[in-house]
């Protein structure tokens, strides 16, 4: 995989070893709503000022939707993934890898990475959005699993 490496919370880590109950799904939705407000605030305060002008309208649109709590609306997860792709491109463009020669190093030097200052808030936002998409996926998948299992048991 080329490009930046991102830590993903992961659906299985969110619900591993926990019985899927309506209470758990409700808690996951509550966590996702709280995370949506965090992401909306982060987009407004830290991301919009450093985005390229062509990407600002999409980020503003997402921030407004998330601030309203519209995380379960159709298309939101896809929009979030698309915006993560935008952030990935910008993070990669602002991340520079280079060889730092050092005569005293056993290999003659080492690889170093430098990120432009504008990239740090984008990388933080990328992590928070990934966490939000994982939590929404856990909530919607859990709800569907409960609904499908209930329907299967009733037949």
Q: Record the pTM.
A: 0.80
pLDDT per position as a tens digit, 10-57: 555 666 777 888 998 999 999 999 999 999 999 999 999 999 899 899
Count of structural domains, the chain: 1
Q: Which domain holds residue 28?
A: 20-154
| Those residues with Cβ within 8 angstroms of residue 6's Cβ, 6 or more apart along the chain or in another chain | 126, 127, 130
User: Is 5 within a domain?
Assistant: no
Q: Is residue 3 part of a domain?
A: no
> Is 9 domain-assigned?
no
CA terminus-to-terminus distance, the chain: 45
In a domain, 12, yes or no: no
């Amino acid at each position: 995989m080329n490009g930046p490496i991102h830590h993903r919370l992961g659906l299985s880590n969110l619900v591993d070893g926990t019985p899927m109950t309506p209470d758990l799904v409700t808690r996951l939705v509550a966590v996702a709503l709280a995370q949506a407000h965090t992401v909306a605030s982060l987009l407004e305060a830290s991301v919009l000022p450093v985005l390229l002008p062509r990407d600002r309208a999409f980020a503003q649109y997402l921030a407004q939707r998330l601030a309203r709590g519209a995380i379960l609306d159709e298309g939101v997860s896809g929009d979030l993934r698309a915006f993560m792709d935008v952030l990935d491109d910008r993070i990669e463009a602002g991340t520079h890898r280079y060889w730092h020669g050092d005569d005293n190093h056993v290999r003659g030097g080492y690889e170093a990475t430098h990120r432009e200052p504008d990239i740090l808030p984008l990388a933080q936002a990328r992590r928070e959005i990934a966490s939000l998409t994982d939590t929404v996926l856990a909530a919607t998948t859990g709800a569907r699993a409960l609904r499908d299992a209930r329907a299967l048991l009733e037949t």
